[in-house]
Amino acid sequence: MRHLLSTRDLDLDTAIRLLDVAEDMADTQQREVKKLPTLRGKTVVNLFFEDSTRTRISFEAAAKRLSADVINFSAKGSSVSKGESLKDTAQTLQAMGADAVVIRHPASGAPQTLATSGWIDAGILNAGDGTHEHPTQALLDAFTIRKRVHGAGSRGKSLDGLAVTIVGDILHSRVARSNVWLLTTLGATVTLVAPPTLVPVDTRNWPVTIGYDLDDALASGPDVVMMLRIQGERMRDAFFPNSREYSRRWGLDDGRLHRLEPTTIVMHPGPMNRGLEISAAAADSPMSTVREQVTNGVSVRMAALYLLLSGDREN
């Protein structure tokens, strides 16, 4: 694998391979093998132009557990605030010997630009670009679902036949986009539920069913309910129902939680707006995988770095 830019690019075999390697990585963590020598001598740069807690820290932990050297770069406090371009920033990283660049950027397509511009030889991992994609989030979500459903026998398995309902601010969600492509490639059926104003126009070309009524969607008994964060910071021109109405109509509140089958998997990528899209009881219930998702994120990012930086990077 040369870069990891999008889940839309991943075929079934590559997606399963990534999840299986993540299983191997998780096994080493459970055996308390804290560090593997696999990426000794490699340098991974975390290049973050947007805030992050989970993604940045787990990429750092993943790289360190594989014995890579890690350089953390935050646009705040860097020469980006003096107007330095993405090209000059990338070439500075190239001069420092970066083997992989993990990039989060507010502009959709920024990782693709780095990967195709010729400015830098490093492998590029998309850690979230604008409203476009967040591939490692979708991979850790798929890993978490597969683990809950298949347990210790997960390796080699797809998500064939599972029904996943993704709820909320689809319009601004790179997590939703990456999950739609990956989960459907893995054989799941995906339903999106949102206020009509938070459904992107291009969903007519997506392999999904669209609904606007959360109670109807939950009554069909999905295997997985994935709640999305309301992205207030990107809401500029979108019509957003007021918070109380949103929570009443599209929030996973205590009443809706109790009507779900107890085997339903409740997910949220974080950060959560507790009391808006998800109640505290739902976020903390045994059905919730919120903390498992964070733990699994390290194994999945170890797998992505391993597949990018070891072996044949041309494939």
Per DSSP, the three-state class of 226 is: strand
Q: Is residue 53 involved in binding ligand CP (CB under 6 A)? A: yes
- The least CB distance from residue 120 to ligand CP, in Å, is 23
Q: How far apart are CA 86 and CA 80, in angstroms?
A: 8
Residue number, nearest CB to ligand CP: 55
CA distance 315 to 205: 28
Q: Which is nearer to ligand CP, 241 or 270 (CB)?
A: 270
Annotation-wise, does 137 bind a ligand? yes
CA–CA gap between residue 217 and residue 248 (Å, rounded): 15
Q: How far apart are CA 299 and CA 94, in angstroms?
A: 26
Classify strands 163-167 and 189-193 as parallel, antiparallel or unpaired: parallel
Q: Map the footprint of ligand CP across residues 176-215, applying CB under 6 A.
A: none
Tell me the C-alpha distance between 172 and 129, whole Å: 11
Cα(171)–Cα(185) distance, integer angstroms: 21
Of residues 213 through 272, those in contact with ligand CP by CB under 6 A are 269-271
104 annotated as ligand-binding: yes
Q: Is 91 in the site for ligand CP (CB under 6 A)?
A: no
Site residues (CB under 6 A) for ligand CP, limited to 54-83: 54-55
- Interacting stretch for ligand CP, rule CB under 6 A, among 18-26, 49-57, 60-68, 163-171? 49-57
Question: Contacts with ligand CP in 130-169 (CB under 6 A)?
Answer: 134, 137
Q: Which helix (H) or strand (E) holds 16?
A: helix 12-30
271 is in an annotated binding site: yes
The response to whether 54 counts as a known ligand-binding position is yes
Q: What are phi and psi of 88, to 5 degrees?
A: -70, -35
Residue 118 C-beta: closest distance to ligand CP, Å: 28
Give the residue numbers of the binding site for L-aspartate: 82, 174, 229
- Per CB under 6 A, residues contacting ligand CP are 52-55, 128, 134, 137, 269-271
